[in-house]
Amino acid sequence: MRQKGHIMKNINIINAQEIATANAITHSGIFHADEVMATVLLSKILPEVKVCRTFKVPEDVAEDVIVYDIGGGVYDHHQRGFSEARENGIKFSSFGLLWRKFGMQLLSDNQNAELVFDLFDKTFVTGIDAVDNGQVERTDDVQVMTVSGVISAFNPNWDEKANADNSFLKAVEFAEVIFDNALNSAISKAKAKTGVESAIEKSANGIMILDEFMPWQDYIFNSTNEKADGVLYVVFPSNRGGYNVNAVPDAPGSFGQRKSLPASWAGLRGAELAEVSGVATANFCHPAKFICGADTFEDALALARKAVEA
């Protein structure tokens, strides 16, 4: 994957008169996150992107030219009768269609390529697609600013004379930072799977121990190991020092817990929690009873054991 900062050297906007020299074509006018992110993706798999933003795609366009979000081809989700969607019902946009085609090519050097591909699609690409296809619930009470909304804000305002193609390039440059961060996060999360699966196998009496913090929740719920269903608490080093005990949610993304920490601990800190829990270095328990901590591993493990027995 190319390093950040390359993109303005790697992408050129071709005007309509020079469309025959373009190797990528998308629509002109107002741009959206799907074709902006699609352009970022193309910049990472092509030595150079010569993109023409136009309202009309030539009938004799070369087969090797990638036409997206316009033209009625395989990367255009606007065409009549288009119904391609994921199993969860979220339709593909131009970004999702291009990720489906070229994502594995971008990840060809990664040993966890298939897992990274799926994680990136689930945690990032699908959201961009859902917004573009109008599949995200809207409310009049709160205007939620999504990544798609931030990128759309790069469009020139109605009362200014900014060059739309320059604005598009600025949006692409900005979007690359988000794309890279999201992809690196997926790569990192994929690396955690082996460690979490090993910890699940070693878990006992409802307690799983991690030698270092790593993303664990999804792997708890997706594991094929029967022991995963019995994990109630996870003990791991805190990035603030000491160790935390985290209750396992009762469902993916839920704020509930399979078993909450004892109600008598809720909201207590320091000496007060140490006295009530009987654990010398216990230092806090969240009021929502999903996480607590201690200064030492031994005391964090003691908290977890007391919580299991409570």
Q: Please, which residues have CB within 8 angstroms of residue 98's CB and are 6 or more apart in sequence?
A: 38, 41, 42, 66, 68, 75
Q: How confident is the model at residue 253 (pLDDT cuts 50, 70, 90)?
A: confident
Q: How confident is the model at residue 138 (pLDDT cuts 50, 70, 90)?
A: confident
- Domain boundary among the residues 140, 157, 188 is at 188
Residues 39 and 179 in one domain: yes
Residues 178 and 219 in one domain: no
Residues 241 and 171 in one domain: no
Amino acid identity of residue 7, one-letter, is I
Residue for token pair 């074509």: 25
Q: pTM for the complete prediction?
A: 0.87
Q: How confident is the model at residue 143 (pLDDT cuts 50, 70, 90)?
A: confident
Q: What is the pLDDT of residue 8?
A: 54
d(CA 134, CA 247): 35
Q: What is the pLDDT of residue 189?
A: 96
pLDDT of 81 strictly over 90: no
- Please write the tens of the pLDDT for every residue from 97-114: 999 999 999 999 999 999
Q: Please, which residues have CB within 8 angstroms of residue 39's CB and are 6 or more apart in sequence?
A: 11, 24, 26, 49, 51, 172, 175
Mean pLDDT of the chain: 94
- Please write the tens of the pLDDT for every residue from 19-56: 999 999 999 999 999 999 999 999 999 999 999 999 99
Q: What is the pLDDT of residue 242?
A: 97
Residues 24 and 145 in one domain: yes
d(CA 154, CA 149): 9
Q: What is the pLDDT of residue 113?
A: 97
pLDDT of 3 strictly over 60: no
Instruction: Kindly give the pairing relationship between strand 233-237 and strand 243-247.
Output: antiparallel
Phi then psi dihedrals of residue 28, to 5 deg: -90, -170
Q: How confident is the model at residue 1 (pLDDT cuts 50, 70, 90)?
A: very low
Q: Is residue 2 part of a domain?
A: no
- Domain boundary among the residues 160, 188, 216 is at 188
Determine how many CB atoms are found less than 10 A away from the CB of residue 15: 12
What is the mean predicted confidence (pLDDT) over 235-243?
Answer: 96
Residues 21 and 119 in one domain: yes
Q: What is the pLDDT of residue 5?
A: 40
Q: What is the pLDDT of residue 9?
A: 67
Residues 27 and 137 in one domain: yes
d(CA 10, CA 21): 15
What is the mean predicted confidence (pLDDT) over 149-162?
Answer: 94
Residues 174 and 244 in one domain: no
- Please write the tens of the pLDDT for every residue from 170-190: 999 999 999 999 999 999 999
Q: Is residue 179 part of a domain?
A: yes
Q: Please, which residues have CB within 8 angstroms of residue 92's CB and are 6 or more apart in sequence?
A: 77, 84, 85, 86, 100, 129
- Please write the tens of the pLDDT for every residue from 187-210: 999 999 999 999 999 999 999 999
pLDDT of 310 strictly over 60: yes
Residues 219 and 174 in one domain: no
Q: How confident is the model at residue 7 (pLDDT cuts 50, 70, 90)?
A: very low
Contact 234, 208 (CB under 8 A): yes
Q: What is the pLDDT of residue 286?
A: 98
Per-residue CA distances from 207 to 31, 97, 202, 257 (Å): 49, 42, 9, 14
Q: Could you list the residue range(s) of the whole structural domain that residue 143 is in? A: 7-188
Q: In this prediction, what percent of the chain has a pLDDT beyond 70?
A: 97
Q: Is residue 223 part of a domain?
A: yes
Q: Is residue 79 part of a domain?
A: yes
